[in-house]
Amino acid sequence: MTGQAAVRAQWVLFAVVLAAFAILPLLVGKFYLQFFTKIMIMAILAMSLNLLIGYTGLASFGHAAFYGTAAYVLGIMTSQYQAASFWITFPAAIGASALLALVIGFFVVRTHGIYFIMVTLAFAQMLYVVFHDTKIGGGNDGMYIDLRPTIRIGDWQPLSLENYVHVYFVAFTCAVATSLTLRMIVASPFGRVLVGIRANEHRMSSLGFPTFRYKLAAFTLAGAVGALAGYLSAVQFGFINPEFFGWHLSVVVMMMVILGGMGTPVGPILGAGAWMLLEELFKDLPQLGAVDLGKHWQLWLGIFIVLAALLLPNGLIGVAKKLWSMRSLKSGT
């Protein structure tokens, strides 16, 4: 199969997947639709981290900081008795997280390797402690968002975020837009510089590229995209707590990126979907004798992660590429 034919096939597959997700509300009930909404939200968060770890080579263990910040901005701006405006809370949440990422990034992107990992984790944990040990945002009890933001254009309300179907389509639209936007960014000269920094930062610096500025821009952009996921998560569940800043969320998202395939446009999406599906699958395992298999779902998920790391070094996207190559060889084109 020629390169142009492969590209056309990928776009056809992309269109088919989009069509399938567009008609999904007609095929499944509320539980499954909300589940797929959560997958798309986590896919957005994974794509944002992939820009750092997959393309720039910055392994952040504190990426949940921007996810949680956006969620809390929405919660704090929402009155108990009146719904806030989407057109106000959305840019405020994204802007606050982007600004936070810019400030944090100014310090952390100066570090490298294990030091970068530890400093990003430290910043996220500081935010966790602030919201957990103080009365900001309800303290360790968190806070509820009883009234979702309203999307109005004049007197017309095209979407209601109180409706789970509408939330699904908003998350679906944001996931598609995020995927296409990040794909264009990575394919741009800016994205190629990021890939060069990941490969050899010293060489890029010697060629005259201000690597600090590029890494800071990537860190800020990733924080803004991660904030989008946090905002949507707060809208979907109507509840936020300090665990939105937790280190375990950052680790889970990193595992999604690795599972799907780092440094690829589709890998984080596959990884988020596979992780969420496996989590539900292992939770629903039956009781075998005196052992409740579903109760120990984290054990089975951990075993799967170890096997995936050993057997799938390039993630699920690597498996898909191998299958595609085998198909091409068999077809003789």
For 14-44, what is each residue's pLDDT tens digit? Answer: 777 788 888 888 888 889 999 999 999 999 9
Model pLDDT for residues 175-208, shown as the tens digit of each residue: 999 999 999 999 999 999 999 999 998 999 998 9
For the chain, what percentages of helix, strand and coil (3-state, to nearest 5) are there? 75, 5, 20
pLDDT band at 326 (very low <50, low <70, confident <90, very high): low
Contact assessment for residue 58 and residue 219, using Cβ atoms and an 8 Å cutoff = yes
CA dist list (Å): 298 to 98, 256, 294: 33, 15, 9
pLDDT above 70: residue 333:
no
pLDDT digits (tens, 9 = 90+) for 105-157: 999 999 888 899 999 999 999 999 999 888 888 888 889 998 899 998 888 88
Of the candidates 70, 89, 86, the one whose C-alpha atom is nearest the C-alpha of residue 234 is: 70
| Look-up of token digits 């590429």 | 321
Q: Which of 100, 92, 106 is nearest to 127 (CA)?
A: 100
Segment 101-107 long-range contacts (CB within 8 Å, at least 24 positions apart): 101/66, 101/219, 101/220, 101/222, 101/223, 101/224, 102/216, 102/219, 102/220, 102/223, 104/62, 104/65, 104/219, 104/223, 105/215, 105/216, 105/219, 105/220, 105/223, 106/216
pLDDT band at 4 (very low <50, low <70, confident <90, very high): low
| DSSP track, 163-185 | SHHHHHHHHHHHHHHHHHHHHHH
Domains and CATH numbers, the chain: 31-284+291-331 (1.10.3470)
Residue 102's pLDDT band (cuts 50, 70, 90): very high
Angle at 266 between CA 37 and CA 11, to 5 degrees: 100
Q: What is the mean pLDDT of residues 167-174?
A: 94
Q: For residue 316, what pLDDT is reported?
A: 81
**Pick from 155-169, 181-195, 249-263, 304-318: least confident:** 304-318
Is pLDDT above 90 for 172? yes
Angle, helices 164-187 vs 30-50, to 10°: value is 20
Q: Please report the pLDDT score of residue 82 as a whole number.
A: 85
* CA pair distance 323, 34, nearest whole angstrom: 31
DSSP 191-209: HHHHHHHHHHHHHHHHTT-
| Both structure tokens of 170 | 């908003």
pLDDT of residue 141: 87
For 294, counting Cβ atoms within 10 Å of its Cβ (0-12 exposed, 13-18 middle, 19+ buried), the class is middle
Looking at residue 10, what is its pLDDT? 61
CB atoms within 10 A of CB 306: 9
**At 239, phi and psi to the nearest 5?**
-150, 140
Q: What is the pLDDT of residue 3?
A: 52
Contacts of 118 (CB under 8 A, 6+ apart): 61
For residue 299, pLDDT over 80 is answered with yes
Q: Taking residues 212-224, report their average pLDDT.
A: 95
Of residues 49 and 319, more confidence is placed in 49
Query: What pLDDT is stored for residue 6 in this prediction?
Result: 55
Give the pLDDT confidence score for residue 240 in this predicted structure. 93
**Between β-strands 239-240 and 287-288, what pairing exists: parallel, antiparallel or unpaired?**
unpaired
User: What pLDDT does residue 18 have?
Assistant: 81
Give the single-character DSSP code of 155.
Answer: T
pLDDT at 319 over 80: no
The pLDDT of residue 167 is 94
Average pLDDT over the chain reads: 88
Give the C-alpha distances (Å, rounded to integers) separating 267 from 47, 68, 199, 302, 317: 8, 23, 19, 20, 6
Per-residue confidence (pLDDT) for residue 47, from 0 to 100: 95
Task: Please tell me the distance from the alpha carbon of residue 328 to that of residue 263, in angstroms, as a whole number.
Answer: 23
Q: Which residue reads 């296409």 in tokens?
A: 180
